[in-house]
Amino acid sequence: MKAKITVNKSYTVGEIDKRIYGSFIEHIGRAVYTGIYEPDHPTADENGFRQDVIDLVKKLNVPIVRYPGGNFVSGYDWEDGVGDKAKRPKRMELAWFSTETNQFGTDEFCDWAKKVDSEVMMAVNLGTRGADDARNLVEYCNVKGDTKYAKMRADNGHTEPHGVKVWCLGNEMDGPWQICHKTAEEYGRVALESAKVMKWTDSSIELVLCGSSGYNISTFGDWEWTVLNHAYDNVDYISLHTYYGNEGDTADFIGRSVLMNKFIKGVTAICDAVKAKKHSNKTINLSFDEWNVWYHDSHRRGINWEEAPAIMEDIYDFQDALLVGCMLMTLQNNCDRIKMACLAQLVNIIAPIMTEKGGKAWCQTIYYPFMYGSNYGRGTVMQTITECDSYKTKYADVVPYIESSVINNEEKREICVFAVNRNLEEDMELTLSFESFGECETIEHVMLYHDDMCITNGADVENVAPINVEFDKAKSAEHTVVLKKHSWNMIRFKY
Ligand code: AHR
């Protein structure tokens, strides 16, 4: 089959905010304990952080990491996790039915984030708690001085503030599963009043309002409209969350990013409708702060209140890597409104990085499309004219056989093309026409491919890993490349 992508230097979508390559560490299962923190591990540093995990996280080049939840945050008392570790209480953790030891908390996470060169996206508890604890946590993290919480942080060994810029006003407050779920009216009021006192404590912070936890939740749309009507003037972003599962039809599954695009366009429209209604000059942008594939592991809660139970440890296969690649391209192509996004999550829990307790750390199939996207998807996203056949699925009438994004890195004079060939039977001959860029030469073509859509990686085996593809070195304004059937590709050009 054939396809063509035409780009012109003058026609762009926008600049990528690097924070779209964020991720997420929640206190669930083994994400923290035996994931990023394991004091007895052979690679542990003086803080108990696993160095083997730090190395793999750094290769992903993750600029921001959300913490401490997720559903966990809606029952969390952050004060339990600071100060003398010997005095920190164990708590019954009601989001995931496990025991939280609190041996790792706010200060440890901020220290860990620094080690992996990331910013922190901190969530506050608007479930069991509210505005008071939220503003206290902002003071604890960001204020220098001798007031109660600023002093508490300094007494706990951190004289300098952590400087957390991005704050989430709770998590998935629209979901009946949430600890202290709220209606849109209830949440809109609490979010507004929390936002006010948090920004009064530190006016430099940015706030993310909870949007819907999925496009198909029955309150979608009304929720965004109501909460934005309450809090529009006091927040900066609204969140979106989405996870896709596989119902056994690969063509349908790898086409799901089309639905993600629909979700983004819908939320953008509602933000702009509220803007118009309010006669506002301010634009609310989007934070897609939970996205991934999630369906393999059905163990979603601990049993018997175990500490760090092995739950939600999805082992990803090759087709999951294709969809994750397509979802990341969808985020890139919406960079005019998506300013932050978090692959949920980062370690052990529905994650690109897995660990063995006391043993190895290894990369899942989905690690690679994310790694290349994050490292090379920096710059200006180009508008494209894409000519390609499409197919129909159970959920979408039009799924193009190609999913792609084209990014111009002006500083390096490089064009990076990400592309998935969704055709399960045929290779694709793709013509790339770089109008007005002049002659370009190919500098790299990396592919992810496997015959077996269900193949996985493991601690001792890497079945899905980047493959270098041979390319033509000729300089030209038009290039033709072959995208193997059901493959993910990154092709870089120098101009
Ligand atoms: O990422 C796992 C969970 O999914 C999060 O805790 C929650 O916000 C979402 O439902």
Element (H, E) at 112: helix 106-115
Note the pLDDT of residue 350: 98
The C-alpha atoms of residue 273 and residue 284 are separated, in whole angstroms, by: 11
pLDDT band at 199; cut points 50, 70, 90 = very high
Nearest CA to ligand 1 atom 6: 70
Give me ligand 1 centre to Cα 310, in Å: 16
Minimal CA–CA distance to 382: which of 433, 339, 431, 429? 433
Please determine, for residue 491, whether its predicted confidence score (pLDDT) is greater than 90: yes
Nearest CA to ligand 1 atom 1: 344
Give me ligand 1 centre to Cα 291, in Å: 9
Strand pairing report for 2-8 and 385-387? antiparallel
Amino acid in position 265:
K
Which residue from 24, 66, 71, 171 has its CB within 8 A of the most atoms of ligand 1, so it is best to mutate? 71
Fold of 17-376: TIM Barrel (3.20.20)
The C-alpha atoms of residue 367 and residue 352 are separated, in whole angstroms, by: 5
Segment 173-191 mean pLDDT: 98
Q: Quote the longest CA-to-CA distance of the chain.
A: 68
Strand pairing report for 402-409 and 414-421? antiparallel
Among the atoms of ligand 1, which is closest to the Cα of residue 312? 2
Task: Name the pTM for this structure.
Answer: 0.98
Among the atoms of ligand 1, which is closest to the Cα of residue 26? 6
pLDDT band at 298; cut points 50, 70, 90 = confident
- Same fold? 2-10+381-494, 17-376: no
Question: Cα(first)–Cα(last) distance of the chain, in Å?
Answer: 28
Architecture category of domain 2-10+381-494 in CATH: Sandwich (2.60)
Marked catalytic residue, from 38, 108, 290, 403: 290
Give me ligand 1 centre to Cα 71, in Å: 6
Which residue from 67, 171, 212, 289 has its CB within 8 A of the most atoms of ligand 1, so it is best to mutate? 171
Ligand 1 neighbours, Cβ below 6 Å, are 26, 69-71, 171-172, 213, 290, 344-345
What tens digit of pLDDT does each residue of 381-409 get?
Answer: 999 999 999 999 999 999 999 999 999 99
Segment 19-27 mean pLDDT: 98
Give me ligand 1 centre to Cα 477, in Å: 45
The C-alpha atoms of residue 406 and residue 382 are separated, in whole angstroms, by: 6
Which residue from 65, 169, 172, 215 has its CB within 8 A of the most atoms of ligand 1, so it is best to mutate? 172
What tens digit of pLDDT does each residue of 208-265 get?
Answer: 999 999 999 999 999 999 999 999 999 999 999 999 999 999 999 999 999 999 999 9
The C-alpha atoms of residue 63 and residue 18 are separated, in whole angstroms, by: 7
Note the pLDDT of residue 487: 98
Give me ligand 1 centre to Cα 43, in Å: 29
Among the atoms of ligand 1, which is closest to the Cα of residue 24? 1
- Apex 324 CA angle, 468 and 26, nearest 5: 120
Which residue from 212, 290, 293, 313 has its CB within 8 A of the most atoms of ligand 1, so it is best to mutate? 290
Which residue do the tokens 């009064």 mark? 200
* Residue 41, helix vs strand vs coil: coil
Note the pLDDT of residue 44: 98
Residue 79: active-site member: no
Q: Are 482 and 430 in contact (CB under 8 A)?
A: yes
Nearest CA to ligand 1 atom 8: 70
Give me ligand 1 centre to Cα 289, in Å: 10
Domain ranges within the chain, ordered by starting residue: 2-10+381-494, 17-376
The C-alpha atoms of residue 60 and residue 250 are separated, in whole angstroms, by: 27
Nearest CA to ligand 1 atom 4: 70
Distances (CA, A) of 407 to 194, 238, 374, 467: 38, 25, 12, 21
Give me ligand 1 centre to Cα 134, in Å: 20
Distances (CA, A) of 225 to 100, 252, 273, 278: 36, 31, 8, 12
Segment 117-128 mean pLDDT: 98
Note the pLDDT of residue 300: 87
Q: What is the mean pLDDT of the chain?
A: 98
Element (H, E) at 242: strand 237-244
Marked catalytic residue, from 108, 172, 224, 313: 172
Residue 224: active-site member: no
Please determine, for residue 183, whether its predicted confidence score (pLDDT) is greater than 90: yes
Give me ligand 1 centre to Cα 277, in Å: 32
pLDDT band at 34; cut points 50, 70, 90 = very high
Q: What percent of the chain has pLDDT over 70?
A: 100
Tell me how far the alpha carbon of residue 492 is from its chain's centroid.
24
Give me ligand 1 centre to Cα 84, in Å: 29
What tens digit of pLDDT does each residue of 155-178 get?
Answer: 999 999 999 999 999 999 999 999
Q: What percent of the chain has pLDDT over 90?
A: 99
